[in-house]
């Protein structure tokens, strides 16, 4: 393993983040506060409680997931897309590094940034609602796995994309709808039975359900299934990335 | 002299089926400066990219310091530094950081002292805290060189280092190359400026349409291909070459006032004495005599033309 190379990539990517640290900090705080003002007060006043949890507290896990998923994708996709766009990717390709090292560097940095923002949102939310975390280790595991797996997906998007439009295509057309329809702001059990079944085909449901379970012990699907789903998703992304580097798809001509 | 880089029957076909390298074989000697000369689209960048790992070879093999570029890519690539043809840098990054990054990427332990040396050598030390976007084009090119040198490579590729740079910077670049050579670095540079190859290379390879037409010591190449031309300028124009001069294979200039004689500098006899005698006997009066050495440019044009026909 070329550890020096992994460290170099990771540090280089994090430097970009630290240059705009204030921005990275303020925007999640602001957007979280807005969610509580809008959803918490407007909708929350109609929906008092969901299964014994106040509506404001109920949406916190979903809110964190929403931000973490979107940020993981955009961090990782831009991280690898920029070198392609600027042409600096020549250096990665000519360096004594293999794909595992490149992925650890870029995906690791993207996941770290998303994790940081996730924690900022968690802390911000605790000022608005009473949070309780019943299973802190499971919570941490879900959070870290989500950051990692969606950073892997972002990495794939960044390699696949050949322009900036395509970069926002996957997050906006695929991931956003899946997250909003994935029980971020409601419990699946509130839907009509047919839609409950349809929803089970949405992978994000498993993610949010598992994450919410780690807070309140409430789950739409069994927590084991949630873990399996995210592990499977991570495995799928890893397989795609392995294939990309083996074939040189879109990076090595 | 030992061979540091060995290329055997290297072929590269791009995804669209275009064959950019058609079986290139070449041995590069440790410590030399090799200039790869060829017109645009000849395959110079493709050759470098394939050696450096940016594109994958279709067939053939390359070893660097005895290490195969695919089987032992780490050992091979650690020995190589690459300065690409196009300027590609992160605009917001600081000079120092981007050079540090390069060193780390190539697996070298952080060593700011070494990076300082490199930056000083390239007159970039004063700019180390500047963001890349604040630098001039020439400075950016130096940053690319600094990045390529950050891990102390034994072999340096410079892909058209002076394309589109001003005269002053070109001279600087040649100086940098000379210093690196003195430090024992093997340098392969591509160019389509013949004067550049002529000025700094030890050996010259001519590449066209994916084929290496020749590789030869610069001096030998010029001597071997070098033909001299003697222009005999006449006081009064003539309309035809006198029959008595036929054996000299002369050409008559368009205005009729110059006889052009071509001879080989390596022949035992150049034939100049007899030519001048014959000219005098034919009753022609000389105004002046001029000789010219054919330049590398003419040699190059001859080679490339011969290839296309
Ligand atoms: N990625 C690519 N796909 C297809 N053809 C390419 C690609 N890169 C270069 N070529 C073609 O290969 C030939 C050699 O290009 P290149 O190596 O860049 O030449 P040079 O550096 O000598 O100007 C050119 O005809 C070019 O159009
Ligand atoms: Mg080129």
Q: Predicted ipTM? A: 0.88
A243 Cα to the center of ligand 1, angstroms: 26
CATH number for the domain formed by residue range(s) B227-293: 3.30.70
Query: Measured between alpha carbons, how far is A31 from A67 in angstroms, rounded to an integer?
Result: 10
Query: Measured between alpha carbons, how far is A93 from B108 in angstroms, rounded to an integer?
Result: 17
Residue A135 pLDDT > 70, yes or no?
yes
Chain A contact set for B101 (CB, 8 A): 8-9, 11-12
Chain A contact set for B92 (CB, 8 A): 16, 19
Ligand 2 is a single-atom ion; what residues have CB below 5 A from it?
Answer: B 44-45, 85
Mean pLDDT, range A119-135, rounded to an integer:
90
Residues of A near B (CB-CB distance < 8 A)?
2, 4-5, 7-9, 11-12, 15-16, 19, 82, 86-88, 90-97, 248, 252-253
Query: Measured between alpha carbons, how far is A56 from A59 in angstroms, rounded to an integer?
Result: 6
Is the domain covering B3-223 a CATH 3.40.50.300 domain? Answer: yes
Q: Which of B32, B23, B28, B34 is nearest to B5 (CA)?
A: B28
Query: Measured between alpha carbons, how far is B33 from B217 in angstroms, rounded to an integer?
Result: 10
What's the pLDDT tens digit per position in B67-116?
999 999 999 999 999 999 999 999 999 999 999 999 999 999 999 999 99
What's the pLDDT tens digit per position in A46-91?
777 777 888 888 889 999 999 999 999 999 999 999 999 999 999 9
pLDDT value, residue B296: 64
> What are the structural domain ranges in chain A?
3-39+54-247
By CB neighbour count within 10 A (0-12 exposed, 13-18 middle, 19+ buried), where does B22 fall?
middle
> What are the structural domain ranges in chain B?
3-223, 227-293
0.90 surpassed by pTM: no
Burial call A218-240: b when 16+ CB within 10 Å, e when fewer: bbbbebebbbebbeebbeebbeb
Q: Does B70 touch chain A (CB under 8 A)?
A: no
Residue A44 pLDDT > 70, yes or no?
no
Q: Are B229 and B198 in contact (CB under 8 A)?
A: no
What's the pLDDT tens digit per position in B217-228?
988 877 766 678
Instruction: Determine the straight-line distance between the first and last CA of chain B, rounded to whole angstroms.
Output: 36
Q: For chain A, what's the residue count?
A: 253
pLDDT value, residue B165: 78
Query: Measured between alpha carbons, how far is B244 from A174 in angstroms, rounded to an integer?
Result: 89
Do the strands B203-208 and B211-217 form a parallel or antiparallel pair, or are they unpaired?
antiparallel
By CB neighbour count within 10 A (0-12 exposed, 13-18 middle, 19+ buried), where does A158 fall?
buried
Query: Measured between alpha carbons, how far is A154 from A241 in angstroms, rounded to an integer?
Result: 11
Q: Give the Cα-Cα-Cα angle B142, B148, B153 (nearest 5 degrees).
A: 135
- Largest Cα span, chain B: 80
């Amino acid at each position: 393993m070329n550890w020096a190379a992994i460290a170099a990539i990771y540090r280089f990517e994090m430097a970009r983040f630290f240059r705009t640290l204030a921005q990275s900090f303020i925007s999640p705080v602001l957007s979280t506060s807005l969610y509580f003002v809008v959803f918490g007060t407007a909708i929350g006043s109609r929906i008092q409680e969901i299964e014994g949890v106040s509506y404001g507290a109920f949406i916190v896990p979903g809110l964190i997931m929403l931000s973490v998923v979107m940020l993981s994708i955009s961090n990782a996709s831009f991280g690898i897309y920029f070198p392609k766009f600027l042409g600096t990717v020549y250096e990665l390709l000519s360096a004594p590094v293999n794909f595992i090292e490149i992925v650890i560097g870029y995906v690791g940095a993207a996941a770290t940034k998303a994790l940081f923002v996730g924690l900022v949102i968690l802390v911000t939310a605790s000022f608005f609602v009473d949070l309780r975390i019943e299973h802190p280790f499971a919570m941490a595991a879900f959070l870290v796995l989500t950051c990692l797996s969606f950073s892997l997906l972002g990495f794939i998007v960044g390699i696949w994309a050949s322009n900036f439009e395509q970069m926002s295509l996957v997050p906006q057309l695929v991931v956003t709808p899946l997250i909003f329809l994935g029980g971020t702001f409601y419990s699946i059990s509130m839907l009509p039975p047919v839609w409950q079944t349809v929803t089970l085909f949405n992978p994000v449901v498993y993610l949010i359900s598992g994450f919410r379970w780690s807070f309140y012990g409430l789950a739409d699907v069994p927590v084991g299934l949630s873990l399996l789903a995210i592990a499977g998703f991570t495995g799928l992304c890893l397989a795609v990335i392995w294939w990309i580097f083996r074939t040189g798809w879109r990076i090595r001509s | 002299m030992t061979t540091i880089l060995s290329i055997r029957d290297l072929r590269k076909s791009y995804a669209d089926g275009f064959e950019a390298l058609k079986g290139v074989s070449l041995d590069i000697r440790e410590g030399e400066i090799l200039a790869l000369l060829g017109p645009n689209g000849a395959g110079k960048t493709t050759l470098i990219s394939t050696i450096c790992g940016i594109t994958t070879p279709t067939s053939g093999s390359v070893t660097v310091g005895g290490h195969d570029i695919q089987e032992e890519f780490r050992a091979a690539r650690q020995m190589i530094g690459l300065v690409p043809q196009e300027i590609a840098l992160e605009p917001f990054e600081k000079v120092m950081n981007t050079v540090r990054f390069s060193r780390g990427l190539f697996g070298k332990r952080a060593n700011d002292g070494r990076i300082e040396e490199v930056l000083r050598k390239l007159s970039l030390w004063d700019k180390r805290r500047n963001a890349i976007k604040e630098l001039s084009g020439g400075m950016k090119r130096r940053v690319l060189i600094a990045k390529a040198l950050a891990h102390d490579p034994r072999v340096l590729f410079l892909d058209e280092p002076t394309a589109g740079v001003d005269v002053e910077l070109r001279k600087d670049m040649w100086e940098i190359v000379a210093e690196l050579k003195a430090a024992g670095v093997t340098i392969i540079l591509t160019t389509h400026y013949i004067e550049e190859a002529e000025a700094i290379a030890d050996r010259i390879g001519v590449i066209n349409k994916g084929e290496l037409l020749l590789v030869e010591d610069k001096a030998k190449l010029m001597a071997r291909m070098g033909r001299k031309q003697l222009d005999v300028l006449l006081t009064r124009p003539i309309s035809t070459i006198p029959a008595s001069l036929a054996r000299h294979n002369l050409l008559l200039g368009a205005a009729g006032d110059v006889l052009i004689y071509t001879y080989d500098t390596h022949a035992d006899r150049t034939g100049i004495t007899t030519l001048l005698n014959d000219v005098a006997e034919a009753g022609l009066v000389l105004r002046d005599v001029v000789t010219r050495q054919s330049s590398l440019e003419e040699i190059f044009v001859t080679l490339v033309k011969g290839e296309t026909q």
